Structure 1
């Protein structure tokens, strides 16, 4: 892997939900497909904790295998995926802004020969995914 070929970007969205409500949507992997159109299904191989592996089936049938590398309950989780010699690291972070208002942040960092290609491709739908999560939470809370 080339240490000099790094690409990163982050996205933020304020939502009228508590960190706990957002966290519950994150750990409920079986329902990711309800708010993320890029997910057909998820198979998690254990509890939602650091070290656990999961496989995500994409709508076109490809399967991506990833690992939860850093999970801090109610605050964030980071997953890593290797595609060839490129490492994709995605952070999903929750921050309380004030009572009833939170911010969630999706940050991606890729490193390797195809860092920019994979980084741009994978993160291109992050704004839609975040909006989908906000709508899912709004419908679930009502």
Structure 2
């Protein structure tokens, strides 16, 4: 029995893996970009919610109810005019955050994190769908989001390096 528990724990740990080793599918994907800009510049861009529309080509508008911190809520509006609520579900000041948008019987997660390198900053934008309908939403929205993400990351890089 003990051996089974150890095996299950090891299997679980292997499946959660490291975020930087994302298998690129429509259900879970990421993009990592390097910049000479400081981590602080990337962080300021990422946490300036009303200006997300400047660099995120899929957004018409975004707002946050209060300060950018854990459990704070906001809304994003797509170019098509669909408004979705989100909540910041993890937060590490100056390093990373994750927000969650509820979907019918599922969720969309967006995680953004950065690290300092010898040449500047590496920053990552990771997206995944979960829940009973996660696969359906991934099929519908994943290809479009994946296609836009590299340009979104370049937009952030350009802003940070100005």
User: For the superposition of Structure 1 and Structure 2, which TM-score range results when normalised by the shorter chain?
Assistant: 0.7 to 0.9
Structure with the larger RCO, 1 or 2 (CA within 8 Å, 6+ apart):
1
Indicate conservation of the 8 Å contact 2:27/2:134, yes or no: no
Q: CA deviation digits over 1:56-98, x for unaligned, max 9?
A: 1112211111111111111011011122112111110111112
| Stretch of structure 1 that moved more, 49-58 or 121-130 | 121-130
Return the index of the structure with the highest Cα Rg.
Answer: 2
Does 2:125 match 1:106? Answer: yes
Q: Which stretches in structure 1 are left out of the alignment for 5+ residues?
A: 1-5
User: CA contact under 8 A between 1:76 and 1:92: conserved in structure 2?
Assistant: yes
Residue in 2 that maps onto 1:89: 109
Q: Distance in 2 between matches of 1:124 and 1:81?
A: 20
Q: Work out whether 1:34 is the aligned partner of 2:54.
A: yes
Gaps of 5+ in 2: 1-25
Q: What's the CA shift for 1:120?
A: 3.5
Per the normalisation by structure 1, the TM-score is 0.85
Quote the residue 1:49 is aligned against. Answer: 69
Q: For residue 40 of structure 1, give the secondary structure of its aligned residue in structure 2.
A: strand
Given that residues 50 and 71 in structure 1 are in contact (C-alpha distance below 8 angstroms), is that contact kept between their aligned partners in structure 2?
yes
Structure with the bigger percentage of helix: 2
Q: In the alignment, which of 133, 137, 140 is matched to residue 160 of structure 2?
A: 137
In the TM superposition, residue 130 of structure 1 has moved relative to its aligned partner by 0.5
Question: What is the aligned partner in structure 1 of residue 21 from structure 2?
Answer: none
Aligned residues: 133
Question: What is the root-mean-square deviation of aligned Cα atoms in Å?
Answer: 1.7
